[in-house]
Structure 1
C-alpha cells in the first residue's frame, strides 16, 4: 500500500525539532552506556540504553520522513518511529523499577508497603506485558490494509498504554508513600539516636544515606517518573481519538507532550544517577544478603545487640560481620 508522508502522519514532520530530538537522545544514549560501564550497573545501564536507542531510532524515522519526497512512500519510516517511540518508555520505567528496589533496601524494607524486589520483579513483568501489547498493536495498526484492522491494532495499543498508566500510578503512590515514611523516620532517627531493627536503616548502607545528595537522587528520579507518566497519559488520549484525531494530526502536541517529556525524564536519570552515591560495589548481591538476614531475625524473634561494633550483631553471640556480608 502506497502512503505519502502527509497521508500517513496527517502532516509533514518538522525537520529541525525532530533533528534536535535525535541528537539529544543520541547523546543521552552514549551517556547512559558510559555510566553503566563506569559504575558497573548492568540492568539499569541496559534498560536505559535500550530506551535511549529506541528514541534515537524513532527520531531518525521522523527526520527521514520530514525530508522525503512528499509523494514518496513513507510507510517504513513511519513504522519505525511509531513502534520505537511508543515502546521506548517501557524500558525506561524498567530501569526506574530496579533502581527503586535498591533505594528501599538502602533505607530498609520496613518502610515499603511491598517487598523490595516486588518493584523489580512484578512491575517489570507488568512492563513486559505493556511492551508486548504496545508493540503488537502498533505493528497491526501501522500495517493494516483496512480501517477496521487499523482500529483493532489501535485498541490494543491503547490497552497497553492504559495498563502502563495504571501500573505507573500504583508505582508512584508506593514510591511517594515510601519517601514520606523514610524521610520522617530519618529525621526521628537523627534526633533521638534510638536503635532500629535490621529492616530499618541497614548499617551497611549508612554511607549512602548520609550522603548530602541522597534525597536529591530520590526526588529527581520521582520527577522522571512524573514526566514519563505525563507522556503516557498524552499517548492514551491521542490514540483514543483515532489515527485521524486532533492530537494525532498536530505535531506540536507530540513535540511537547512526548518528545519533551521523555527527554526531561531521561535527563533527570542522568543528573540524578543513583550510582553517583552508591558507587561501584556489587550492590545487588549485598541487598539480597541483607534482606535474608532481616527475614531470619523476624522468624527467630531475636533482639538486636546495638552495643556490638559489628553490623547486624545479635545477642547470644549470633554475630554477622562485615566479612560475612562481603563473602
Structure 2
C-alpha cells in the first residue's frame, strides 16, 4: 500500500492493481448511470411540484443527487484511478444514497394502512413514518460518518482508522437491513390481517375503488420492487465490506454493477415511473370516481377526520 500513496497515474511502476479497487471503472456504464440519476433527479422535482407531494419528492431527489455525485466520482476514477477526491466522492455518496430510497418507501406505508383500515395494523399510521424515518436517519448518519472516516484516512498509516470507518459503515448498513426487515414484517402482518378480515369486513368506498384500479396495483408492485432491490443491495454491501478494504469481492466490478448499480437503478425507476401522485389514487373527496382519464394534484388520506396530504406529514 505504500506504493499506492505516491502514485498519481497508472504506469509500469504504478499498475492499476495497486488501487483500492484494482480496476479502472467502466467509463460508459458510469456515465450512463450519472445521466440516468440526473434525469430521475429532475423528474422527481417536477413530479413533486406537480402533485404537491413534498416529502416523497425531497427524499427521492436527494437519493438521486447522491447517486449522480457518486457516479461522477467513479467517472473521475476512470481518468484518475489514484485520485483521492473522485474516490472520496463515490464512496460517500453511493453508500448513503439508497437510504433516501428506503425513506421514500417508508413514507408510503402509513397511507396504505390508513386507506385499507388502521385497525388491522400493529401500529397506527403516523408511527410508521416516525419510527422508520428516524431509524433511516440513524442509518444514514452512521453510513455517512463511516464513509467520511474511511475516505479521508491515510491508506498507508491509518489502518486502524480505515478499519473503524469500515466497521461504522457496516453497522449503518446492517441497521438499515434490520429496519427494512422489521418494516417488511409489519407490512406483511397488515396485509395478512386485512385479507383474513375480508369476509367479515369487505373493502368498500375508497379502498374498494382503489384496489380495483390497475394503477394502484402497479404502484404496489413498484413499491415492492423498490423494497426488494434496496434490500438486496444492502446485503451485498455488507458482504463486500466484511472482508475489509481491497478484498476480492470489492475488487470485482461486475458484482458491484449487478448488486449496487442495477438494484438502485431498478428501485429509483420503480419509484419514479410508478409515482404515487398518479398511481396511488387516494383523495380528499370521500367518493371520487377513479377513471383512467382523470389526473389528480393532491394525495390525501383519512384517519378519523379528513386530512389533506401534501407530503409534509
Deviation at 1:185, TM superposition (A): 4.2
Query: 2:20·2:246 contact (CA, 8 Å) conserved in 1?
Result: no
Q: 1:23 aligns with which of 25, 35, 39?
A: 35
Query: 2:21·2:252 contact (CA, 8 Å) conserved in 1?
Result: no
After superposition, the Cα gap between the structure-2 partners of 1:182 and 1:212, relative to the gap in structure 1 and judged at 3 Å, is farther
Unaligned runs of 5+ in 1: 189-193, 294-323
Tell me the distance in 1 between the aligned counterparts of 2:203 and 2:127.
Answer: 19
Q: Deviations over 1:278-306 (max 9, x none)?
A: 232252xx53xx24x5xxxxxxxxxxxxx
Aligned to 1:52: 64
SS at match of 2:263: helix
Q: Looking at CA atoms only, which structure, 1 or 2, has the larger radius of gyration?
A: 1
After superposition, the Cα gap between the structure-2 partners of 1:157 and 1:31, relative to the gap in structure 1 and judged at 3 Å, is same
Is 2:283 the partner of 1:281? no
Equivalent residues in 2 for 1:91-110, closer than 5 Å: 91-110=100-119
Query: 1:8·1:74 contact (CA, 8 Å) conserved in 2?
Result: no
Query: 1:137·1:154 contact (CA, 8 Å) conserved in 2?
Result: yes
Aligned to 1:175: 187
Q: Deviations over 1:133-163 (max 9, x none)?
A: 0000011111112111100110000000100
Deviation at 1:223, TM superposition (A): 1.6
TM-score, L = length of structure 1: 0.79
Aligned to 2:148: 139
Structure 1 residues 269-278 or 233-242, which shifts more? 269-278
Q: Write 1 or 2 for the structure with the bigger share of helix.
A: 1
Is 2:238 the partner of 1:226? no
After superposition, the Cα gap between the structure-2 partners of 1:28 and 1:282, relative to the gap in structure 1 and judged at 3 Å, is closer
Q: 2:237 aligns with which of 228, 235, 238?
A: 235
Unaligned runs of 5+ in 2: 10-15, 282-295, 309-313
Query: 2:34·2:71 contact (CA, 8 Å) conserved in 1?
Result: yes
Aligned to 2:127: 118
Deviation at 1:244, TM superposition (A): 1.5
SS at match of 1:153: helix
Query: 2:62·2:100 contact (CA, 8 Å) conserved in 1?
Result: yes
Q: Deviations over 1:246-298 (max 9, x none)?
A: 11111111111000000011111123222214232252xx53xx24x5xxxxx
Deviation at 1:228, TM superposition (A): 0.4
RMSD over aligned Cα atoms = 2.2
Tell me the distance in 1 between the aligned counterparts of 2:164 and 2:7.
Answer: 20
| Structure with the larger RCO, 1 or 2 (CA within 8 Å, 6+ apart) | 2
Aligned to 1:298: none
Aligned to 2:177: 165
Equivalent residues in 2 for 1:51-70, closer than 5 Å: 51-68=63-80
After superposition, the Cα gap between the structure-2 partners of 1:24 and 1:104, relative to the gap in structure 1 and judged at 3 Å, is same
Aligned pair count reads 278
Structure 1 residues 234-243 or 216-225, which shifts more? 216-225
Deviation at 1:124, TM superposition (A): 0.5
SS at match of 2:123: coil
Is 2:160 the partner of 1:153? no
Query: 1:106·1:209 contact (CA, 8 Å) conserved in 2?
Result: no
